[in-house]
Amino acid sequence: MKKHIVIFEVAGGTDKGPDGYRPDTMPIVKSLEKRGWTAEVIFYSHEKKDEILQHVSNTADAYVSRINPGNLADEANYFDMLRKLCDNGIKGMSHPDVMTNFGAKDALVKLRDTDLVPDNTFSYYDIESFRHSFPKSLLYGERVLKQNRGSTGEGIWRVQLVDKLADVKAVPLMARVKCTEAKDNHVEYHELGDFLTFCEQYIEGDNGMLVDMPFLPRIKEGEIRLLMLHRTPVNVVHKKPAAQADAFSATLFSGAQYRYDAPSDWPELIDLFIANLSTITSKLGNLDLPLIWTADFMLDTDENGNDTYVLGEMNCSCVGFTSELSLSEHIADEIISILTPQLV
């Protein structure tokens, strides 16, 4: 045991402080050092990939990835290096396959036979199946389409029919639809066929895909984000969309209001999620859970009028905790616990 951790960053991007680091990176370094471990921050670049691979393989017990994929010019090369590090015995926090499997929107489809996701949640990987199936799923009622790429609500659309239809097996392409984007809650009206053509951009290219799930009206009461540290919920953020009629986005950019709660304030949700962790793990690659990750939920109502919780998204590539930097102490403890379980 070398008792040394490497934290990966990448130069540039809007997530950096005045010192060039993410604001939540150096607190982890300092918390590890307080516990008698050493840590260093390495800025990844493709040109230095082989040099970094050799250095980390020779010096570290584990890496912690703190890179927002949107700041990488070539995510595939970075993930390739991480896989090689894991193959060389370096503990990945998190493994690249975990970041991919948990962060992809189609994780919802893989979990739709659990208590967490509605049965009528679908994924489209090619334009033909999207154009064939979405006009049928729209007959279920209002839908939400989510692109696999993007952030802050970009490419997430609430889609609803303007006029009611009767005795059809699929919504006609000339039917009018009202489309609201989560990025800023702006509304557009289109013929369905034109909107389908517009959405083809989300399916094209590497990792292109759309997820299609029911719109849940109780999103107006707020989205509930669990901040997870490996297997432990450490924080809950209640994100209530702006008050205007069409608003459904839970991002700060769109005007949502955030409230920070303790996990003990949401016992039913916490119990539900913890009970499903082993199932989530097995269905999403059967690898160790991410080190720092989030799960976003919305409220729904079952047939008996009771509250239920629906999973809307998970994120784990580079979850920030800048609003509560003291969490670095718990993160350091968890890193050490994962690497030296027999000592805990």
Residue pair 128/135 in contact by the 8 Å Cβ criterion: no
Per-residue pLDDT, 342: 54
Per-residue pLDDT, 75: 86
Per-residue pLDDT, 338: 95
All structural domains of the chain: 4-93+327-331 (3.40.50.2300), 102-109+218-321 (3.30.470.20), 119-213 (3.90.70)
Which residue, 334, 76, 312, is CA-closest to 207? 76
Please list the pLDDT of the chain residue by residue as tens digits (344 residues).
Answer: 899 999 999 998 888 899 999 999 999 999 999 999 999 999 999 999 999 999 999 999 999 999 987 788 888 899 999 999 999 999 999 999 999 899 888 999 999 989 899 999 999 999 999 999 999 999 999 999 999 877 778 899 999 999 988 889 999 999 999 999 998 899 999 999 999 999 999 999 888 999 999 999 999 999 999 999 999 999 999 988 887 777 777 777 777 888 999 999 999 999 999 999 999 999 999 999 999 999 999 999 988 999 999 999 999 988 988 888 899 999 999 999 999 975 54
How many Å apart are CA 224 and CA 206, to the nearest integer?
30
How many Å apart are CA 133 and CA 124, to the nearest integer?
9
Which residue, 295, 272, 294, 292, is CA-closest to 332? 292
Length of the chain in residues, anyone? 344
**How far is C-alpha 249 from the chain's CA centre?**
15
Per-residue pLDDT, 344: 43
